[in-house]
Amino acid sequence: MLAKALSSALLGIDAVIVDVEVDIAQGLPQFATVGLPDGAVKESKDRVKSALKNSGYDFPPRKITVNLAPADLKKEGASFDLPISIGILAAIGVVKGERLKEYLLLGELSLDGSVKPVRGCLPVAVAARDAGLRGIVVPLENAPEGAVVEGIEVIGVSELAEVVEFLNGDRAIEPFRVNVEEFFARSAEVGDDFSEVKGQEHAKRALEVAAAGSHNIIMIGPPGSGKTMLSRRIPTILPRMSFEEAIETTKVYSVMGLLDRENALVAQRPFRSPHHTISDAGLIGGGNTPRPGEVSMANHGVLFLDELPEFKKHVLEVLRQPLEDGRVSISRALMSLTYPSRFMLVAAMNPCPCGFLGDANHSCSCTPVMIHRYRSRISGPLLDRIDLHIEVPAVKYRDLADRADSESSAAIAARVETCRNLQLERFKGTKVHCNAQMPPRMIKKFCEPDAAGHRLLEMVTDRLGLSARSYTRILKVARTIADLEASENIREQHLAEAIQYRSLDRKTS
């Protein structure tokens, strides 16, 4: 007796369709699972046996062989419990085979036959839709995230008996529905707002430029000057996520098992702020069983690194590839995975170990050697990949005492949205979506300054000894400043402002 059910395995943030083949033959009672299963999959035989018996079905006392194909793909987790149990019931004739070809099954079984939630339902729904299947049968808790994908039925179940009755046509279960617009409307509700920030107009302008072009930025200032407060408000001025961006980001959270029924779609740009004790695997992903890191969880959002020099140097250096390529590649003996990591890096640091270098109200106790050692924790190649370096001085009393509200996040976000739409129109038909992503050929095409700008750039490049990467960063930022003014050409004043945002280059020259 042979039967086949459909399931899925995760490969990075994508899913691969897996055929669950069950063969029941004469012989001594035995249960063997083949097809490169991990420990959790091998243990499924005990969960399946108890779940079937406690749900009122007979477990055949014969030789049972379960094959998970393709056999060269490692199978992980308990999500194969449900398809294996349904495969066994189909092999003994309890479940009819017609609907098994149309629906993909996913779920962990409790010993009493209830179906428990699993990770990665969203990428599984996408894979099933792309494969032309009619729908997926998943745990009820996972149904909302699967229902985000249009063009496929998502059947939420809570018990094994429900699945059997549904596949046999004895029970009608309505496909789960969600309102995607509701998720986006909920994400538009603003919590923190730039109107609450007193003073720091120069820093706010720099953050607006950074948000408008998705540029990386670092803020240097004494403790209490508002660096963290400013950073946490950046998501409120970023443009709304597109549906494609939301799906890609939600896939990361889905495979991590971090979604719930109320937040089945990550429709608000994520803000991740890892502690400086984080490991390199925690930051970019990895481990024995590779999982996404903080850079992937910040995909299409903000990665905030507070107290940047306090991070281990080798941890900071692994940021180079995701900053440059927008993705992370993790290679292991059995597999090579790629996770998305197109994020906006926002970093903050003190000007010196004590934090009060250049502060008029506090004296600095650091020696030049201490200051140099502190700043050298951030390598030149990493600084080159940060577009804007700005100083955030301590806030003066008159700014703190000012009762007038500053400009709101909504007003800034409107200008940023207009600027991003201009860039989307410019880069239509390409994989580039904003100025920060421009490759050299596009920089040459869209970032040509006028004659006065060329003279200014030549003087500044020679005087500061800028690297080629710093030079191109200045051009990209100048392009964004020109876009904010709806200027087709990059003028001298745009370049002058962009050059102002390279304060660390000036200090290290």
Bridge partners of 139, per DSSP, are 157
Query: Could you give the 3-state DSSP secondary structure of residue 105?
Result: strand
Q: Report the pLDDT value the prediction gives residue 217, as an integer from 0 to 100.
A: 97
* Helix orientation angle between 468-484 and 451-464, rounded to the nearest 10 degrees: 140
Report phi then psi at 128, rounded to 5.
-65, -40
0.75 exceeded by pTM: yes
Where does the pLDDT of residue 506 fall: very low under 50, low under 70, confident under 90, or very high at 90 and above?
low
Task: Say how far apart CA 274 and CA 206 lie, in whole Å.
Answer: 23
> What pLDDT shows up at residue 190?
61
47 Cβ contact partners less than 8 Å away, ≥ 6 residues apart:
78, 81, 108, 109, 110, 111
Residue 362: per-residue pLDDT: 85
Mean pLDDT of 309-323: 93
Give the three-class secondary structure for 410: helix
Give the contacts of 314 (CB within 8 A, at least 6 positions apart): 280
Q: How far apart are CA 506 and CA 509, in angstroms?
A: 5
Supply the pLDDT for residue 509: 42
For residue 77, pLDDT over 50 is answered with yes
Would you say residue 191 has pLDDT above 80? no
- In which band, very low, low, confident or very high, does the pLDDT at 342 lie, cut at 50, 70 and 90? very high
CA angle 413, 228, 186 (to 5 degrees): 45
**Selection from 242, 222, 480 nearest residue 350 by Cα:** 222
3-state secondary structure 254-296: HHHCCCCCCCCCCCCCCEECCCCCCCHHHHHEECCCCEECHHH
* pLDDT of the residue at 334: 67
Give the pLDDT confidence score for residue 150 in this predicted structure. Answer: 93
Tell me the three state secondary structure of residue 389.
Answer: strand
Residue range 43-70: mean pLDDT, rounded: 95
**Residue 508: pLDDT band with limits 50, 70, 90:** very low
| Burial of 368 per CB tally in 10 Å (0-12, 13-18, 19+) | exposed
Domains of the chain, first to last = 2-167 (3.30.230.10), 186-428 (3.40.50.300), 438-509 (1.10.8)
- Contact of 436 with 460, CB cutoff 8 Å: no
